[in-house]
């Protein structure tokens, strides 16, 4: 028991059980919640309002709707904002499984929480940058080292007349004729590796 307790307390994943017959009241939560979210387990156990009252107001309706479908799905995974003890909201990935008796009646739910706030911020930053790239009128294209197209913004769609879904994974030389005098991708890569930049003309 002590080994299990230590293992749970040192993990970045919070383990919990809830009672579906008591408005999803917590019946157990691992002690690492204190280090990760700031709450003592005693504050949470048997408090029927703890979960939903600390879920972000904009996420509550969605979460309650998901929980209402839990008995049918048996497994559920979702992401929402949850209030920490210090009042800040963090993004939580919640995965939950319902346990049923031999008659198929739900008797307990076992779940886990993982704080994904850092990943969420990175994701939002990438989405923001992607939006900026799409709003630029210039053509912005990214490729792998073999010059196969990875991204193709709206500016590129306008200038070259190809939709992004039409060119992805195709080689850039098959879409855009390069005006480099050597007309070889190896030459461009050599310049890129040496100077971290290559400038050239595209013949339309």
Residues 166-191 have pLDDT tens digits of 998 898 888 876 655 445 667 777 77
First CA to last CA distance, the chain: 71
Tell me what pLDDT residue 72 has.
67
List b or e across 31-70, with b for residues whose CB sees 16 or more CB atoms inside 10 angstroms. Answer: ebbbebbebeeeebeeeeebbeebbbeebbeebeebbeeb
More confident residue, 149 or 126: 149
**Beta pairing class for 13-19 and 106-115:** antiparallel
Q: DSSP for 32-84, please give it.
A: THHHHHS--HHHHTT-TTHHHHHB-HHHHHHHHHHHHTHHHHSEEEEEEEEE-
71 and 140 housed in the same domain: no
Q: What is the mean pLDDT of residues 154-159?
A: 88
pLDDT score at 134:
77
Looking at the fold, whether 104 and 141 belong to one and the same domain comes out as no
Closest CA to 80 of 67, 93, 69, 70: 93
Answer whether residue 6 shows pLDDT above 60: no
Residue 13, classed as helix, strand or coil, is strand
Q: Does residue 102 lie in a domain region?
A: yes
Residues 15 and 103 both lie in one domain: yes
Q: Report whether pLDDT(107) > 70.
A: yes
Residues 45 and 70 reside in one and the same domain? yes
User: Number of structural domains, the chain?
Assistant: 2
Query: What confidence category does residue 27 fall into, taking pLDDT thresholds of 50, 70 and 90?
Result: very high
Residue 77 falls inside a structural domain? yes
Q: State the chain's mean pLDDT as an integer.
A: 83
Residues 44, 85 within the same domain: yes
Spatial separation of the C-alpha atoms in residues 73 and 158, rounded to whole Å: 45
The percent of residues in the chain predicted with pLDDT above 70, rounded, is 86
pLDDT band at residue 14 using 50, 70 and 90 as cut-offs? very high
Domain final residue pick, 120, 151, 167:
120
Among candidate residues 105, 125, 124, 51, the one with its CA nearest the CA of residue 81: 51
Structure token digits, residue 166: 């039409």
Q: Within a domain: residue 202? A: no
Tell me the pTM.
0.62
Q: Flag whether 179 is in a domain.
A: yes
Q: pLDDT tens for residues 61-81?
A: 998 888 777 766 678 888 999
Higher pLDDT among residues 82 and 123, named by residue: 82
CATH number of the domain where residue 82 is located: 3.30.450.20
Which residues form the domain of 189? 136-195
Q: Does pLDDT of 165 surpass 70?
A: yes
User: Residue 202 has what DSSP assignment?
Assistant: B
Per-residue confidence (pLDDT) for residue 182, from 0 to 100: 47
């Amino acid at each position: 028991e002590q080994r299990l307790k230590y293992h749970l307390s040192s993990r970045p994943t919070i383990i919990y059980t809830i009672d579906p017959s008591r408005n999803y009241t917590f019946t157990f939560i691992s002690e690492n919640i204190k280090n990760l979210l700031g709450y003592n387990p005693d504050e949470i156990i048997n408090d029927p309002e703890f979960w939903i009252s600390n879920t972000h107001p904009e996420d509550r309706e969605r979460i309650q709707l998901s929980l209402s479908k839990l008995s049918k799905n048996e497994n559920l995974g979702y992401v929402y904002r949850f209030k920490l003890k210090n009042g800040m909201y963090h993004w939580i990935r919640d995965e939950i499984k319902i346990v049923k008796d031999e008659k198929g009646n739900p008797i307990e739910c076992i779940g886990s929480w993982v704080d994904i706030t850092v990943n969420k911020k990175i994701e939002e930053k990438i989405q923001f940058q992607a939006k900026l790239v799409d709003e630029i009128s210039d053509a912005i294209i990214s490729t792998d080292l073999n010059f196969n197209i990875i991204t193709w913004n709206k500016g590129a769609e306008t200038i070259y007349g190809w939709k992004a879904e039409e060119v992805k994974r195709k080689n850039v030389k098959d879409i855009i004729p390069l005006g480099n005098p050597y007309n070889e991708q190896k030459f461009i890569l050599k310049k890129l590796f040496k100077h971290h930049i290559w400038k050239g003309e595209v013949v339309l």
